[in-house]
Structure 1
Amino acid sequence: MNIRFFKTFCDVVDSGNLSRAASLNGVSQSAVSQQLTKMEKDFGVTLIRRGGATATATTAGKAFYRGAQRIIREYEQMAGNVRSEEDTVSGTLRIAATYSVGCHVLNPLAGDLLERHPKVDLQIEYIKWNNIAPALLSGEMDLGIVDYPEKRRGIEVMPLEQEKMVMVCSPKHPLASRRSISVMNLQDERFVAFRSQTPTGRYIQQMLRSRKVNVEVVRQFDNIEMLMSSIEADAGLSILPFACIARHVSDGYLSWASFHDGATWVRPIGVIRSREKPPGKIEEIFLAMIDQGQQRDKTD
């Protein structure tokens, strides 16, 4: 069980309020509720009694609370001991990413790195996709996190993950109630798009064209936040990585549906670096963390 679940649970009990606990942990109230449901399912007992805006621990919940506090204390002590051993790792790591990839892919990795090695100077820049490879080749940046990574001279590509692409629309849209659709359902729909010059924009354009689906492109953006804002305002629907919209969906601002042929609607994310420059110590640590995470995912 994730150690963060224990902290969330304790915050619910201490504050007596799911919304307050959500705010303390930087997640939505829906996410807190889901965590509580999972813990109760795992233990087979009711831990929190919910009533209106209040939340109180049951008898079993109080026992769980005491145990959770003990686990958190032991974890924090262990983490402190580990950090003291790792404090000798220092230096600078410069990473470039596009905004649509960086926020939900890079931020958790960056958080893990800094938690383990707080003396590292991690510099992250969000730049246009076509400027990332040149920045690596010039030595301006050490690593790049990109969508649809392409092999090119002097650039090494390491696969990171495959993101599920889904139809996204306003909760007011007629397709909002659907959980699965055919891409043909998008025929003649108003469409909010990534600019066609971007890798994701090109991919979506090619996928629609190969299926002979015509959409009415009403707006185009490089910035995914502006794109989602337009969808929320019901300017049109779009196709986006689910990972980018998950928070907006849980908060009720967006709706989504998977495609019947969902296996073909994926966005590959990769790490790229210059072949000409040997990796530094911090770069090797960061890449090893990524590899370890991928190995864990394969065994889960």
Structure 2
Amino acid sequence: MDTELLVSFLEVAQRLHFGHAAHHLGLTQPALSQQIRRLERQVGAALLERTSRQVRLTPAGAAFVIQAQRILVDVERAFAQCRSISAGGIGHIRIGSIGAALNSVTPDFVRHLQERLPGLTLQLTQLDTPPQLAALRAAELDLGVVRSAGPASGIQLEDLFSEPMMIALPSDHRLAEASILTGADLRDEQFILWPRTTSPLFHDQVLAYCQAEGFAPRTAMEGRDIESQLGLVSAGIGISPQPASFANLGRSGVTFKPLRDPPVSTVQLAWLRAAPPPHLADAIAAAHYATQRARPR
């Protein structure tokens, strides 16, 4: 199958307008219509319904959009692998990582993997856990560093390490001099939280901890990234439960304090079971090596 036909189909599927799609592709409208008819003959099904007023996807076309996107991603991945090998390398791997791991284990993991396989080309992207799992299923990532992912269809998980929850406080907060905090200390505080859509398991973990301590957290604000949240903490807006890895950031105006009997979350490697990434055994070994190095002696 000519991938140019897939590109043209996806353009029409996105715009649902042959004229606009043809203009964007640099084709005439008759030439684009001819490409779509060729593709439909190859597929053996009508993908688009056309009238004088509108264009819409057929049920078969809507299903084919997902498959066409995956085919193009797989083709580009194959091209990248071939270019890397042709240039003297041994392949290409796309790695995703949660932000907390980028402040702890991921940089050392990536460095050690490059040392083990110097010809391997790496691409690193920061993503939260749910988008990483979606990207793995869509073949847009090969390997993910995620947090506390539960059983997920088609996804294989390998635990790397567990870390406790800590509390980020303004440096001039009344609790900033305490050696350890309890749930009772937090009862009357305003909380700055991760949105549940961004970090569902950690968000639920915070709520469960507060509930077990006999109170519901009063949410002052939510922040979609750690920089926003710690900025709000530094400004005195509230306190923020965070994975311990973020204490490495050393944000001015913010103090991290441990909790008594804290909840813990687990950082994991994740990959698509049906399509394991290249050099998976080396990647797992490098990640565990980096984890051991990151542990305090």
TM range (shorter): 0.5 to 0.7
Q: Label 1:287 to 1:88 Cα distance change in 2 as closer, same or farther (>3 A).
A: farther
Equivalences for 1:15-30 in 2 at 5 Å? none
Deviations 1:171-227 (A, max 9, x none): 111111111121111112111111133221121112112222233211102211211
| 1:233 aligned onto 2:235 | yes
Q: Would you say how many aligned residue pairs link Structure 1 and Structure 2?
A: 209
Contact kept in structure 2, 1:89 and 1:117, CA below 8 Å: no
1:78-114, CA deviations, whole angstroms, 9 ceiling, x for partnerless residues? Answer: xxxxxxxxx9763111112232333433122112223
Equivalent residue number for residue 203 of structure 1: 205
- Separation of aligned partners in 1, 2:131 and 2:217: 29
| TM-score of the aligned structures, taking structure 2 as reference length | 0.63
For 1:80, the equivalent position in structure 2 comes to none
- Give the structure 1 partner of residue 39 of structure 2: none
CA contact (8 A) 2:116 2:282 kept: no
Q: Which position in structure 1 is the counterpart of 2:44?
A: none
The 2-side partners of 1:276 and 1:180 are apart by 45
Hey, what's the Cα distance between the residues in 1 that align with 2:165 and 2:234? 18
Q: Distance in 2 between matches of 1:278 and 1:272?
A: 10
> What letter corresponds to residue 250 of structure 2 in structure 1?
H
Overall identity of the aligned pairs, in %? 21
Q: Which residue of 1 aligns with 2:278?
A: 280
For 1:112, the aligned partner's letter is H
Structure 2 equivalent of residue 222 of structure 1: 224
Amino acid at match of 2:164: K
| Equivalence for 1:114 | 114
Which residue does 1:90 correspond to in 2?
90
Find the counterpart in structure 2 of residue 137 from structure 1.
Answer: 137
Q: TM-score, normalised by structure 1?
A: 0.63
Give the aligned residue type for 1:242.
Answer: A
Structure 1 residue 127 displacement after superposition: 2.5
Q: Helix, strand or coil: the match of 1:255?
A: strand
Shift of 1:120: 2.1
Shift of 1:242: 2.1
Any conservation in 2 of the 1:245–1:254 contact (CA below 8 Å)? no
| Cα drift, residue 164 of structure 1 | 2.0
Unaligned regions of 5+ residues in structure 2, if any?
1-86
The one-letter code sitting in structure 2 at the alignment partner of 1:183 is G
Q: Which residue of 2 aligns with 1:254?
A: 254
Tell me how far apart the structure 2 counterparts of residues 114 and 210 of structure 1 sit (CA, whole Å). 44
Partners of 2:172 and 2:294 lie apart in 1 by 36
CA separation in 1, counterparts of 2:122 and 2:239? 36
Give yes or no for contact 1:100–1:223 (8 Å, CA) kept in 2: no
2-side partners of 1:190 and 1:233: how far apart? Answer: 13
Letter in 1 for 2:224: D
**Inter-partner Cα distance in structure 2 for 1:285 and 1:232:** 41
Kept in 2, the 8 Å contact 1:169–1:237? The answer is yes
SS at match of 1:177: coil
Distance 2:249 2:219 in 1: 25
Give the aligned partner of residue 168 of structure 2: 168
Q: Could you tell me how far apart the structure 2 residues matched to 1:182 and 1:291 are?
A: 32
Structure 1 residue 295, shift from structure 2 partner: 6.7
Letter matched to residue 125 of structure 1 = T
**What is aligned with 2:267?**
269
Give CA-to-partner distance per residue, 1:27-83, whole Å, 9 cap, x none.
xxxxxxxxxxxxxxxxxxxxxxxxxxxxxxxxxxxxxxxxxxxxxxxxxxxxxxxxx
Asked if 1 retains the 8 angstrom alpha-carbon contact of 2:109 and 2:290, the reply is no
When Rg is computed on C-alpha atoms for both structures, the one with the higher figure is 2
State the alpha-carbon separation in 2 of the partners of residues 173 and 295 from structure 1.
34
Q: Deviations over 1:214-268 (max 9, x none)?
A: 332111022112111111111111111222123416xx53212212223xx2121
**Bigger share in helix:** 1
Partner of 2:215: 213
Please state whether the residue corresponding to 1:175 is helix, strand or coil.
coil
Q: Which is worse superposed, 196-205 or 169-178?
A: 196-205
> d(CA) in 2 for partners of 1:89 and 1:294?
26
Structure 2 match to 1:102: 102
Contact 1:196 1:205 in 2 (8 A): no
